[in-house]
Amino acid sequence: MTRAAVPGLPSRYPIGEQLPALYADDDLAQRFTAGLDTVLAPVLATLDNLPAYLDPRLAPGDFVDWLASWVGVAVDDEWPPQQRRAVVAAAVRLHRRRGTCRGLAELLRLCLGVGAEIVDGGGAVWSTTPGTALPPAPSGDLLVRVWPEPGEAAGGGAAAVDEAQVRAVVAASCPVHLTCRVEVLTAPPADGGN
């Protein structure tokens, strides 16, 4: 990351004013330190505003991509800035839910603006009754059904779902021991989805 010099940015802490009184009227010392102020002003402004640089909602656009690398999120260059900021801001929550149906559905909604229903082959149950039958063997399949969310398109209608992008997100997030299938629906399933 580089921050270029900002023309005309004043230094909040001019070096010339901090010199001993002997140099207060020295023209050479004042001009020399004014040159340093020009170079250091962007650095000091960045340090003064460091909390804003670390908040994806407030950070400059190039810093949002840098913050994404800090939290281990891959952002697409084609995403609009607000979508990038939302994904970076939700990164920790998404990492906590990684590998779960809920986490995958939320990731698909944030990244692609689609609704999702995930049907897991399962194999885990619990019971408070002793002697309960064991669950069936896990199928090893994960079915991901996606549909366009209303209001995501420019006209307020539903946007088309790009199946290749859905498959890429699912492949990156699906546990390696499962086989993932993707179905693209035109509307939410009759049972309401997630």
Query: DSSP letter at 46?
Result: H
Average pLDDT over residues 3-10: 73
* Distance set, CA 150 to CA 105, 153, 157, 186 (Å): 16, 7, 5, 11
For the cut 50, the answer to whether the pLDDT of residue 155 exceeds it is no
When mean pLDDT is compared across 20-24, 87-91, 104-108, 134-138, the lowest value belongs to: 134-138
Neighbours of 63 (CB within 10 A): 20
The radius of gyration of the chain from alpha carbons, rounded to an integer in Å, stands at 26
pTM over 0.85: no
Residue 8 CA, distance from chain mean position: 33
Partners of 118 in the β-ladder: 144
Q: What is the pLDDT of residue 106?
A: 92
List, for residues 28-66, the tens digit of each pLDDT value. Answer: 999 999 989 888 888 888 888 889 989 999 998 888 988
> Within 13 Å, how many C-alpha atoms sit on residue 69's CB side?
5
List, for residues 68-113, the tens digit of each pLDDT value. Answer: 999 888 888 888 899 899 999 999 888 888 888 899 999 999 888 8
Residue 71 CA, distance from chain mean position: 8
Classify each residue of 135-174 as buried b or exposed e, where b means 16 or more C-beta atoms within 10 Å of its C-beta. eeeeeeebebbbbbbeebeeeeebbebeeebbbebbeebb
